[in-house]
Structure 1
Amino acid sequence: MSIQKECADHLRQTYRHLTNEKLGSGHAHEIVAAFFGYGSAAALRTELHYQLDELNRADILIPNLALMDQRVQQLQGLPAKLPEVNDLASQLCDFLRAQGHFSGTVWHTHDVEDYINSDFIQNDPMMIEDDLSSEIATTNAYFDELYIDEVALDIGQDALVALISGSLNGDTDQDRAFHGDSIAFTTVMTFQRVAGRVAYEKPELETSGAVDMSKYYDDEEA
């Protein structure tokens, strides 16, 4: 049995258990397809390169909650007591874990850009700071604040790419000559696609940066 059908059957069984009513097979398959990032169940069934059987190789799963919302609005004849999309996605994630299809981290979010900043990077800022060690060494500052200005996503055929810009800020050591206390950086974070349109490997990061002295030059000119 395919993972697509397993998930659809699970949604139907869970709905019947909760409400003693029926969720149609077609509806369940469409909801599952949207969860995995496809506009229709047929599109998921015809996926050739990133089949769901490879889910166990993925490190990160990002259910497409926005597409699930859209499909639920489009589908005709859905039962009135159908759970909210967030609950449906949670049911599917729990099922995939329980069946051993996926053991990585779930990013349960409607805003991937914000999640990358607030939950992923800020929980482990050293993934960026380590790549700025040579720039840090040229300054007289102690750095402790990683600030993200922007996260821009590019969803490609084979990878999800996040282009991140921001600054690493610190406090100057007054006993040393001033050489800057802010480093402007850009990070390219690449998530290689593994299964479906929502399951990826751990990201690869490439960070470049330079000490930002522009505000001090501006002050001198003023």
Structure 2
Amino acid sequence: MTIHKDCADHLRTHYAALTGGKLSSGHAHELVAAFFGYGTGSALRAETQRPLDLLSQADIMIPDLPLLDIRRAALSGLPEDLPANDVIVDLLVEHLEASGQFTGTVWLTRDLVDHIGADFIRDNAFTIEDALSGEIASTNAFFDELYPDEVTVEHGDDALIATVDGHLNGENDQDRAFHGDSIAFESVVTFDRVAGRTGYSNPSFATTGEVDDSRYYDD
């Protein structure tokens, strides 16, 4: 049994147990396809390069909540008492984890740019700071404040690529000559696609930066 069909069957079984009603197989398959990032069930079934059967090899899963919202609104004849989309997402995630079909980290967000610019960058600040160690050593500051100024996200065929532009700010060491207290950086974060359109590998970082002296001038 494919992961797609297993999830659709689980959704139908849950709905029947919850309401005593019937969710059609077609509706369940379309909702599950959207959850996995596909506009239609046929598009999911046509996936050959990175089938969902490889989901257990992925480190990160990002269910496509915005697409699920769109597809649900477009489908006609759905039961009026169908649980909310967030409930459906939680149900499918719990099933995938309980059945061992996915054991990694799940990102539940409708705003991927915001999630990367806030939670993800905060959790991976040390990786970026470590890549800027040479620039840090050239200054007289202690750095501990990393701020993303702009985040862009590109969904490619092979990877999800996030570009983060920001500043690493610090506090001057008064016992040393001033050589800057802010580093402008750009970090290109690549998540290789592993399974379907929602299963990715742990990211790789390519970070560059330089001391930002644009706020300073000579009298």
Question: Which TM-score band (shorter chain)?
Answer: over 0.9
User: Paired residue for 2:160?
Assistant: 160
Moved more, 115-124 or 178-187: 115-124
Q: Partners in 2 of 1:25 and 1:93 — Cα distance?
A: 19
Give CA deviations for 1:88-127 in whole Å, capped at 9, x if unaligned.
Answer: 1111111111111100000000011111121111023101
Q: Partners in 1 of 2:139 and 2:101 — Cα distance?
A: 48
Q: Partners in 1 of 2:82 and 2:125 — Cα distance?
A: 40
Deviating beyond 4 angstroms after TM superposition, the runs of 4 or more aligned structure 1 residues are none
Give the number of aligned pairs. Answer: 219
User: Paired residue for 1:44?
Assistant: 44
Q: Which amino acid aligns with 2:25?
A: S
Q: Partners in 1 of 2:163 and 2:92 — Cα distance?
A: 30
Q: Which amino acid aligns with 2:128?
A: I
Residue aligned with 2:132, SS: helix
Q: Partners in 1 of 2:216 and 2:167 — Cα distance?
A: 16
RMSD: 0.8
How far does residue 84 in structure 1 lie from its aligned partner after superposition? Answer: 1.2
User: Paired residue for 1:35?
Assistant: 35
Q: Partners in 2 of 1:136 and 1:2 — Cα distance?
A: 50
User: Paired residue for 2:78?
Assistant: 78
Q: Which amino acid aligns with 2:105?
A: T
Q: Partners in 1 of 2:205 and 2:85 — Cα distance?
A: 32
Q: How does 1:57-206 map to 2 (within 5 A)?
A: 57-206=57-206
**Structure 1 spans left out of the alignment, 5+ residues:** none
**Structure 2 spans left out of the alignment, 5+ residues:** none
How far does residue 81 in structure 1 lie from its aligned partner after superposition? Answer: 0.8
Moved more, 191-200 or 114-123: 114-123
Residue aligned with 1:215, SS: coil
Give CA deviations for 1:12-34 in whole Å, capped at 9, x if unaligned.
Answer: 00111111111111000000000
Q: TM-score, normalised to structure 1's length? A: 0.97
User: Paired residue for 2:18?
Assistant: 18
How far does residue 55 in structure 1 lie from its aligned partner after superposition? Answer: 0.3
Question: Identical aligned pairs, as a percentage?
Answer: 57
Residue aligned with 1:213, SS: coil
Q: Partners in 2 of 1:127 and 1:121 — Cα distance?
A: 9
Q: TM-score, normalised to structure 2's length? A: 0.98
Q: Partners in 1 of 2:127 and 2:19 — Cα distance?
A: 46
Q: How does 1:211-222 map to 2 (within 5 A)?
A: 211-217=211-217, 220=218
